[in-house]
Amino acid sequence: EPEVTQTPSHQVTQMGQEVILRCVPISNHLYFYWYRQILGQKVEFLVSFYNNEISEKSEIFDDQFSVERPDGSNFTLKIRSTKLEDSAMYFCASRGQITDTQYFGPGTRLTVL
């Protein structure tokens, strides 16, 4: 069964450093999403992406964040200058053209020191 994959599973970085979180969505999916879950808190929507552009974004998704689909398979989330409060689990999801269901990857745990 096809699945969404994410790398790395765990990333540790110093405050102020840039990080790129990578996702490989399900191959025929066209809609892509990033969510995050700070430890002990709700899962929060960050951004959705379709047709090579952002379709929706939350207030969390400020200028420090960017997304990109650099090739036909990867979907990345970049945080330009990480802050301590960016420490969270980041989930990627993808959705097909005719379905309402998002399929999630296993997540990347980001720890900012």
Partner 1 sequence: AQSVTQPDIHITVSEGASLELRCNYSYGATPYLFWYVQSPGQGLQLLLKYFSGDTLVQGIKGFEAEFKRSQSSFNLRKPSVHWSDAAEYFCAVGARDSNYQLIWGAGTKLIIKP
Note the residues at the interface with partner 1 (CB under 8 A). 4, 31, 33, 35, 41-45, 48, 50, 55-56, 58, 91, 93, 95, 100-107
**What six digits make up the tokens of 36?**
């995050």
Work out how close the CB of 26 gets to partner 1 at its nearest, in angstroms, rounded to a whole number: 13
Name which of 45, 25, 24 is nearest 34 in CA terms.
45
Q: Where are the beta strands (DSSP E) in the chain?
A: 5-7, 10-13, 19-24, 31-37, 43-50, 53-57, 65-68, 75-79, 88-95, 103-104, 108-112
Beta carbon nearer to partner 1, 42 or 84: 42
Work out how close the CB of 15 gets to partner 1 at its nearest, in angstroms, rounded to a whole number: 26
Pairing assessment for the beta strands 75-79 and 103-104 based on DSSP bridges: unpaired
Work out how close the CB of 17 gets to partner 1 at its nearest, in angstroms, rounded to a whole number: 25
